[in-house]
Structure 1
Amino acid sequence: IFSRFRQLGSARQTHLALHREGMHFPRPSDGRKLTALDWTPIRYRNVISVLKNPFYAGAYAYGKSKSRTAVVDGRAHKTYGHIRPLDEYDVLLKDHHERYIDWGIYGRNQKQLAINAYGQRDGAKSGRGGRSLLIGLMTCGQCGHRLRVAYRGRYPYPVYQCIGRTAHGLPRCMCFGGQRVDTAIARELMRVVQPIAIQAALVAERTHMETQREQQRILELELQQARYEASLAERRYAACDPDNRLIAAQLEKNWETSLRRVSEYEARLDDIKTHNSATPTPDFTGLAEDLDAAWSSSSVTMRTRQQLVRALINDITVNIDEADCEIVLTIHWKGGRHSTLRLRKPQSGEHECVTSDDALAIIESMASRWSDEHIAATLNRMGLPTAQGKSWTAKRVGS
C-alpha cells in the first residue's frame, strides 16, 4: 500500500490498482475479539485507514477522536468519532515500536492526502484525467485564486478562467484558451527533462522490474497463506467426530473453500510467471532519446501526463500583460527554481485548428501550375495533414 501510494500519489488510485491485481486484506471475522481473520478483496477503507494510521510509522497514539455535546430540543446530545488534529492527541509516542515507514514519509503522505481532498479551498487537485493538462495547478496573479477549467465549443476545448471575484459582483480577472498554454508547458517540461532523460529511463526500467517481482512475491505470499489455511482446515476436519454431522459438513465446506483458493492462487501465479517471461521489457532508453514521441504516444493517458507535470512543478502563477496582449506564466519548479514563459494571448474566436505554414507554402507555390488533385497528392506524399489531422482531397485544397 505504501509503495503504491508513493508511485500513484492517490489513495483511490492505489486501491484501484491493488483491486485489479486481486489483492486481499485481512478482516476480523469474530467481531471485537480479533482472534480470527478472513482474507477478503481489498476495499478503499482498508487503504485509507492504513495510510492515515500513525501506528505504521512506529508511533503509539491515543485520543485520536473526541466526543462533542450539543443541546438539541433542550436536551444534551453527545456525538462521537470526531477526528482530532495530530498535535491534539492525548498521547503520541514516536519511535515506540518497529515501523513500516519513517515519520517524515508519514507526514508527506498526510499532506498529499489533504491536497487530494476534492473541493478543498485553495487546494490543488491531483491528476484525474480530462482534456486539460494544468487543471488545479495555475493560480491567478491578481487575486490569488485557483484558475478553473471550462470546456466550450462543438468539439470541447479547455478554457482557463478565474472566477474568484465574481462572487462579489466583479468581472473575471482573466480568461484564455488552454490548448496553447498546455502545449507551451509541455514543451518547457521536455526541455527541462531532456538532460536527465537517460538516467530517468534507467530508473524507470529498474522500477518496472521491481514492480514485476513485487507482484510475483505478493502472490507467492498469498499462496503460502492459502496453503496454510487449507492445511489447518484439513486438520480440523480430520479431528472432528463423525457423529457430529452438521459440524463435519461445515468443516468440510471450509476445507473445500480453502482448496479452491489454493488452486486460484496457483493459477494466477503461473499466469504472471508466463506473462513476465513472454513479455519483452520496454525499451525505456529508446523512449528517452525521443521524449516528444513518448509524450505524444497514444498509449500515454492524460492522467499520466498530469502526474508527470505535478511531479516536477509546484505551481504556475498567471498574469495577463494587456499592453503586449501576452499571457505571462511563472513556473515554480520542485526544488525552488523559477522560470517565466510569455505567450501571445489568443484573440476572441481564435483557435489552434489552422493549416500549417508548410502546407500553405506548398499550396501557394503549386496553385498556379497544378490542379487541386495534384496538390492534394503531393501534400499526402509529404505527410502534411490538414488542420484537423486528415488527409488532403481536392475539395479541401480548394477550400
Structure 2
Amino acid sequence: MANRVEARVIDLDGMYDPCRPNDRLLLGMKGSISEFELNVLRMRMLDAARAKAQRGELRISVPIGYLWHRDVGLGLDPNQRLQEVIRLIFARFRERGSARRAFLALLAEQVHFPRPTDGRTLTHFDWTLIRYRNVISVLKNPFYAGAYAYGKSGKQTSIVNGRAHRTYKHRKPFHEWEVLLKEHHEGYIDWSEFERNQKLLAANAYGKAGDTKSGRGGRALLAGLLGCAHCGRRLSVAYTGRTPRPVYRCYRFDMPPKCMSFGGSRIDAAIGRELMRVVEPMAIEAALQAEQMHMDTLNEQRQIIELELQQAQYEATLAERRYAACDPDNRLIAAQLEKNWEAALRRAQACQARLETTRTPAESISIPDFTTLAQDLDAAWNAPGVTMRMRQQLVRALIVDIITDVDETTREVVLTIHWQGGQHSQLRIRKPKTGEHGCSTSDEALAVIGSMAGRWSDQDIAASLNRMGVRTGQNKTWTAHRVSSIRRVRGIDAYRSAQKNGQWLTMSEAAKLLGVTHYMIRRLINDRVLPAEQVMPDAPWQIRASDLRSDAVTAALTRKHRPCRSNVEGQLPMFIEVSEGGA
C-alpha cells in the first residue's frame, strides 16, 4: 500500500522509501526483530508469573470466601456469615452424599448464598437463595481445601472451515495442572476430604465399575450397591408387574447376555434384617449420637439465621443513617432512602421471626425420641415417616459393597457383604421358582391350619391366627372364608361337627354341660383343676368329657361363694363362730 501511494516510513533511525528494495529489506528485518522481541518479553512475563505462582505468591482471582490480605496474603473472608454458609455446604454434602440432595436440604432450610455485585473485587454481595451451581462450584474448587491451584484450564485448537480456531478455558485433570500447592492457606476442609468428595461426585455422575452411587430413593433398597461376581459391573434395577416390584439384573446393551437376574423384595428384606441384627448391640449408643447430630443440625440452622439477622440489622441501621444524613428538602432522594430503610426493616423482622421459630418449635413438630426407637429397631426401620432414601443412606453408612452371585444348584442368591471397617459376612436367600410370587401363605399359618382343621371350625382357626398375629400372604387378617380357601387349595380336611364322638369338648360345650359360666371353666383350667389341652398357644382349649366328672372338679363346683383355703394344722382362727341362740 505504501509502495502504491509512494509514502515514506519514518522512525528514530531515519526515513525509508518502500519503493526501494534495500529500504523494504531493512523494514522487514526490523519488523521481524521487533516481533521476536515482543515474543521474548511475553515469554519472560509468563515465566515470571508461573514462577511466582509456583511460590504461591501470584495474586490470582480467588473464590467467594477468600480475600488477598496486604500483609498475610491469601486468607479467609472476615465475614462470619459467609464462612458459616460455606461450611454448611460441606456439612450437608458430608451427611447426604450427593450434591443435589445437599442442595435440596439447604434450599429447604432457606439458606442464602452471596452473589457478587461488583465484578471481581468480591467486596459487595447480594444474598439470594442458594442455587445448585453455588453448591457444585464450592464442592469442586480446590481452594476451599487449602490448596493453591494455577493453570487449571488450557486452550484447544481445532480446524474450522480450513482455519485454525482456538478456544480457551478448557478444564484439565488434576495431574495436568501447572501448579498445585497443598496446605498453602487455611481451608474449610482438608485435602483428603476434598479427594473423597471428588470421587463421590464422579461416582454419582457416571456410575463406573467399582463405584457406588449415593442413595436416590425409589423402591429398591440396594440400588447401585450390588456388584456382579462374574463381570464386576453394578447390577441395574428394573420394575416389573402391575404393581411395580424391583428386579436386580446384570444386563447391558453393549455386552453379552445377562449374568443374573432375581427379584429384589426378598433380598431387601434379608439385608434389612441383617442390618438390624448388626446394629442392635450398639443401638443405644447410635441413638444418642443421632440425637446429638439432630441437635447440632438445629444449632447450625439457628447460627446461620442469627448471622443473617445481624447483617439485616446492620443494613437497617445503615439505611437509617443514610436517611438521617439526607437533606429533607430533597424529596426525590429522601423518598428513595426511606423506601430502602423500610425494606431493610422488613428483612430484619423476617429474620427475627425465623429465629423465634427455631428457638420455640411448633407443637406439631415433635422431636423424635431416639432412645425409644433404639429399643424397637424394627418399628423404627418400618416407620411410615422413614423414606427409602433414608434407609439407603443408613445402608451405605454401614456397608461398603455387596458382591452378588446365584448358585443354580441350590437355587440360592449368595450375597457377600463388605462392611465398613473390613469385616465380611455372607447371606444365602432362596431364589423363587419361575412363576412363584411373594404373596404365598407362610409356613407358620399352614402349620396352624393343618393342626387345628380336624377339631376346630374355620371360624375358630381364623380367630386363633388373628390372636397369634399371623397374617395372610397379602398381609390381611384371617376370616373363615380365607381359611376355607386355603384348605381347599392345600387339600386339608375340613372340620365336621358330625364326626365328633363326644370324647372332646370345647370350653363352651363344657360350660353348658356343667351349667356354669365360661369364666368358671377358664378358672378351673388356670388353677390346674380341670385338665385341658391346646393344639398350640392361643388356640382354643380342648377338654376331655370324662375329666368333667372327676372328684376335683366336683369339689370345686360345690364350693360356691367361698374362697378356696387350705387347712393348716395349729393355725388359730381369726374369727370365732357364734351360734344363732347367742351366749
- Provide the TM-score with structure 1 as the length reference: 0.92
Match of 1:171 among 242, 249, 257: 257
Cα drift, residue 89 of structure 1:
1.8
Cα deviations by residue, 1:145-166 (Å, 9 ceiling, x for unpaired): 21111111111111111114x5
Cα drift, residue 247 of structure 1:
3.6
Aligned residues of 2:209 and 2:233 also touching (Cα < 8 A): no
**Whole-angstrom CA distance in 1 between matches of 2:234 and 2:403:** 9
Distance of aligned partners of 1:119 and 1:251 in 2 relative to their CA distance in 1, 3 Å threshold = farther
**Is the counterpart of residue 210 in structure 1 residue 329 in structure 2?**
no
- 2:463 equivalent in structure 1: 377
Whichever residue aligns with residue 407 of structure 2, its letter is D
Cα deviations by residue, 1:177-222 (Å, 9 ceiling, x for unpaired): 1111112222222222222222211211111111122211111111
- 1:161 equivalent in structure 2: 249
**Whole-angstrom CA distance in 2 between matches of 1:222 and 1:205:** 26
- 1:25 equivalent in structure 2: 113
**Is the counterpart of residue 131 in structure 1 residue 219 in structure 2?**
yes
**Whole-angstrom CA distance in 2 between matches of 1:276 and 1:185:** 37
Cα drift, residue 67 of structure 1:
2.3
Match of 1:313 among 394, 399, 404: 399
**Is the counterpart of residue 12 in structure 1 residue 67 in structure 2?**
no
- 2:361 equivalent in structure 1: 275
Cα drift, residue 392 of structure 1:
2.4
Whichever residue aligns with residue 133 of structure 2, its letter is R
**Whole-angstrom CA distance in 2 between matches of 1:259 and 1:381:** 64
Match of 2:436 among 336, 342, 350: 350
Cα deviations by residue, 1:39-80 (Å, 9 ceiling, x for unpaired): 111111111111111111122222222222211221222333
Aligned residues of 2:209 and 2:232 also touching (Cα < 8 A): no
**Whole-angstrom CA distance in 2 between matches of 1:60 and 1:261:** 37
- Greater relative CO, 1 or 2 (CA 8 Å, sep 6+): 1
Range that drifts further, 41-50 or 100-109: 100-109
Structure 1 unmatched ranges of 5 or more:
none
- 1:284 equivalent in structure 2: 370
Match of 1:36 among 117, 124, 138: 124
Q: Secondary structure at the match of 2:136?
A: helix
**Whole-angstrom CA distance in 1 between matches of 2:332 and 2:483:** 83
Whichever residue aligns with residue 249 of structure 1, its letter is A
Cα drift, residue 282 of structure 1:
2.8
Instruction: Output aligned runs, 1:304-343, within 5 Å.
Output: 304-343=390-429
Structure 2 unmatched ranges of 5 or more:
1-88, 486-583
Cα deviations by residue, 1:232-257 (Å, 9 ceiling, x for unpaired): 12222222344554443333322222
User: Is the radius of gyration larger for structure 1 or structure 2?
Assistant: 2
Q: Secondary structure at the match of 1:78?
A: strand
Match of 1:226 among 312, 324, 327: 312
Aligned residues of 1:212 and 1:276 also touching (Cα < 8 A): no
Q: Secondary structure at the match of 1:167?
A: coil
Distance of aligned partners of 1:245 and 1:123 in 2 relative to their CA distance in 1, 3 Å threshold = farther
Q: Secondary structure at the match of 2:180?
A: strand
Q: Give the number of aligned pairs.
A: 397
Whichever residue aligns with residue 94 of structure 1, its letter is K
Q: Secondary structure at the match of 1:127?
A: coil
**Is the counterpart of residue 95 in structure 1 residue 177 in structure 2?**
no
Range that drifts further, 201-210 or 28-37: 28-37
**Is the counterpart of residue 194 in structure 1 residue 280 in structure 2?**
yes
Whichever residue aligns with residue 240 of structure 1, its letter is C
Identical-pair percentage: 66
Aligned residues of 1:317 and 1:331 also touching (Cα < 8 A): yes
**Whole-angstrom CA distance in 1 between matches of 2:171 and 2:443:** 60
Distance of aligned partners of 1:149 and 1:279 in 2 relative to their CA distance in 1, 3 Å threshold = closer
Distance of aligned partners of 1:260 and 1:298 in 2 relative to their CA distance in 1, 3 Å threshold = same
What's the Cα RMSD here? 2.1
Aligned residues of 1:356 and 1:387 also touching (Cα < 8 A): yes
Cα deviations by residue, 1:65-101 (Å, 9 ceiling, x for unpaired): 2222211221222333322222322222222222211
Whichever residue aligns with residue 87 of structure 1, its letter is H
Aligned residues of 2:154 and 2:170 also touching (Cα < 8 A): yes
Cα deviations by residue, 1:339-385 (Å, 9 ceiling, x for unpaired): 22222222111222122223222333333444434433333333322
**Is the counterpart of residue 395 in structure 1 residue 481 in structure 2?**
yes
**Whole-angstrom CA distance in 1 between matches of 2:329 and 2:123:** 28
Aligned residues of 2:209 and 2:234 also touching (Cα < 8 A): no
- 2:67 equivalent in structure 1: none
**Whole-angstrom CA distance in 1 between matches of 2:336 and 2:164:** 49
Q: Secondary structure at the match of 2:360?
A: helix
Aligned residues of 1:159 and 1:175 also touching (Cα < 8 A): yes
